[in-house]
Structure formats: C-alpha cells, structure tokens
Amino acid sequence: MLRLAAFIALVVSLALSGFASVISAQAQGIQATASVENSFPQGLLFHLVASSDAMITDVRLRYQIRPEGALTSVVPEFESSANIDITFTLEGNNPPRLYLPPGTAVDYFWEIEDAAGNAFSTERATVVYDDIRFPWRLLTAGVINLHWYQGSEDFAQEMLEVAQRTIEDMSALLGAQVEFPIHVWAYANPSDMQAALIQESESYERRIITAGARVSKDTVLILNSGAALDTLRHELAHVVNAVAGEGPFGSLPAWLDEGTAVLAQEEDPFGYHVALERAVASGDVLSVPSISSPPGDPNNVILFYGQSWSLVSYLIDTYGPEKFAQLFATFKAGATTDDALSEVYGFNQRGLEDGWRQSLGLPPLERPEGGPTESPAGTGGPAQSNDDGSSGLLVGLIAGLVALAAVVGIGGYLLSRRLS
C-alpha cells in the first residue's frame, strides 16, 4: 500500500509539474518509476522513485549526450532505504564542466541495487533539451533546420535560402560535405538569446552583445535582426570549416577559421577593411603566429578579423582555391600550422607573413639574426585555444573600443567566442 501511495503521489506531481516523460518498471523485487523535466535554461531534472523488499544501497544515473558524448555515470546523494525518492539536476549551463545547447538530445537510464544483491536498470530513454520559453516554428531544407518564433515567414524563408547557399558555397570551396542536420535557432533579441549562450562572467556579459555563435558541431544561435543574414553566413561557414579542417589534434588556427568565415559574408558591416587599412598605413599589423588564437586585447579585435580575412584572401587569390581546400585537408589529417603550410604552399608562417606583407606594400618583418624559422612555441599547432568546436560572432559595446569605433565608424566590434 505504501508503494501504491508513493506511485500515485508521483503521478499527481508529474501532472502538475510538466515532467517530459515517465517510465515505470519492475524486476527482481525492485520497482522503479523514472521521469525527467526540461527546466531550460537551468537544466534537466531527473526524478526516480524506487522501492524494494530489501534496502536500496546503490543508485546511479547514466546519461549520454548525443550524438558523440561518452556515457557518464552520476551517483546522487540519498539515504539507503527500502523506498527512495531522488531528484538530480543536470545543469544545462555550467561551464567548463558542461554546456547543453538548445535542442540537445540526452539518453539516460537508472541503475539500482539492493542489499539482497538484486540489480535492476530502467529502460534507456531520450529527452530533448529544447528552449521551451518560446513558441518555435520550423522551416527545413536540405541539412538546414531553421527554428524561429518572431518575425515574418518571408524573412525566415530568406534565412533558410541563405543558409542553404552558404553551406553549398563553402562546401564547394573547401571540398567538404556536411552530412548531418544543422539546427539554426533565431532569437528575437539579445536578452532572449543570452540564456541559451554559454555562461560567461558577469562583467563579460555586461560588455558584450552576441550576434551569433556556433555553439556545437551542429547548432548555431543567431539574432533575427540587424545583420542577421551575414551573421548566419559567418556562423555556418564555421560549421563547414570544422568538417573540412578539424583533425585529431585540435581545431584550426584562429586566423584561418575566422578569416574563412568572414570570407563567407557578403558585407563588411563592422569595419574590418577600414581597420586593416589603418594598420597597414601605420605598419602596425599583427604577426601571423600571434593570431593563431583570438586576441586578448579588445583593441585588436576588429583588426584581427580584418587581417584574418586578408590572409585568407591572399592565399586564395595568389595560389588558388584548390590549394586552399588542400590546406584544410592537411590540417584535418593532423598537421601543425607550419607543417600544413609547408606541405601545401612550400613556406611556413614566416613565409606566409612575409608574402602577405609584400602584397600589401609592407617590408618583411625584421627578425633577430639566428632566430627561429618556425613559429614560437605554443603557436605552431593546429590551434591554440580552448575551442570545443564552437565559435561566435559578437557585437560588443566596450569602453576600450570607443576611440576605434569613432575612427572606423561603428559602435561595436566583433569577437570570436571560443566555447568550452
């Protein structure tokens, strides 16, 4: 009777709280009812009610983030008893430990053991961690799944067409094929999107407005306003870049990844070209090894994008798109930056830098006699960042860039967000 009352209470609780699914099972003297609630953006709430003829001594939740996550085991706190009621929260935005983008599918099941030696597992089930705050609509074409909840269907259709063309164009350029569905989540305003993005420090969030981000291999978040179409092109280019060039030892150098993403854009709304021209005129361009990772100095962010774009354009215009695609393939095979450049073009980062500078009318860099011919330690690898495959396009209102904004005629800057 006690077990029946506990089960009835659970069913009533689930009906009132909106749990996503309920699984009941019984075997070997153990009865269990498992459920999960989507509490976006806080996370997933897993709930287990179980009973046995003997004391329950061990309970584990096993979950796997699809499609590529490892099977993970969690042992929640509970007091050993013949009847247990456990709730465990899998936090959806707890970097660097875990970040779950909207639409993430999570497989899960519970394992239960009692003092009599009985062992039991619930059936494996799947829950999808959707952003349940908004009434999403869906348009699909090819590999693109466009989710939006505000704005006209005509503009959503235009975004879908732009997304398709971008995937096709960048795949053709890089010799890559995207063979998995891509989900684009278009948010109406920054405050709506903020909760879906990876959590940053409070000071960071005050200074930055994110226009778009590739938050996982197959998921892109963008603002459905302003420069939405170019943001979409930029972020989807990152998806193709990763397919074409991310290898077993890391991701692409930042200048190659971001420069190729800017190349996919049709406009220059943030003044990259102006920032580059100003740096070239003063001779203050950045060294190639220094932009293997995004710049730490916010004053160099727009120049970083402009110079990355210029380097990529130089390689394509001078040596052709075939070699450029080969460069990505060489990175994918596991080559370091210098090795990849040497194999494809016959020069390393120093040679790239000198050739690019010459194309802009700048002299080669003066380097100490007997200095290294390769890149400095820590910058010669495929990429030097904590990227897990996620990049972002950010528009920030930062006090340190006010002077630069006045020069280039913008109120913000773009920054590559590296999500881990």
pLDDT tens profile 277-307:
999 999 999 999 999 999 888 788 899 999 9
Distance CA 332, CA 249 (A): 9
Classify strands 93-94 and 98-99 as parallel, antiparallel or unpaired.
Answer: antiparallel
Number of H helices, E strands in the chain: 12, 17
Mean pLDDT of the chain: 84
Residue 45 predicted with pLDDT over 90: yes
Report the distance separating Cα 262 and Cα 238, nearest Å.
10
What pLDDT score does 136 carry? Answer: 98
- Report phi then psi at 108, rounded to 5: -155, 155
Tokens standing for residue 413 = 């800057």
Token pair of 326 as six digits: 């080969």
pLDDT tens-digit profile of 99-114? Answer: 999 999 999 999 999 9
CA neighbours closer than 13 Å in the CB half-sphere of residue 100: 25
Burial of 55 per CB tally in 10 Å (0-12, 13-18, 19+): middle
CA angle 311, 254, 299 (to 5 degrees): 85
CA-angle at 66, arms to 330 and 204, nearest 5°: 75
- Domain 2-129 class in CATH: mainly beta
* Token pair for 330: 């060489």
Q: Could you tell me the pLDDT band of residue 24, with boundaries at 50, 70 and 90?
A: low
What confidence score (pLDDT) does residue 401 get?
Answer: 39
93-94/81-91 β-pairing: unpaired
DSSP state of 242: H
pLDDT tens for each residue of 359-405: 999 999 877 654 444 433 333 333 333 344 445 565 443 333 333 33
Which class is 137-366+380-416 in CATH?
Answer: mainly alpha
Which of 154, 96, 84 has its CA nearest to residue 120? Answer: 84
Q: How many other CB atoms sit within 10 Å of the CB of residue 172?
A: 13
> What tokens were used for 394?
């950010």
For residue 221, what is the enclosing H or E element?
strand 219-223
Amino acid symbol at 298: P
3-state secondary structure of 105: strand
Q: Report the Cα 263 to chain-centroid distance in Å.
A: 20
Q: Would you list the domain boundaries of the chain?
A: 2-129, 137-366+380-416
* Residue carrying the six token digits 């011919």: 373
pLDDT tens-place string over residues 149-178: 999 999 999 999 999 999 999 999 999 999
Claim: this prediction has a pTM higher than 0.85 = no
At which residue do the structure tokens 């980062």 appear?
349
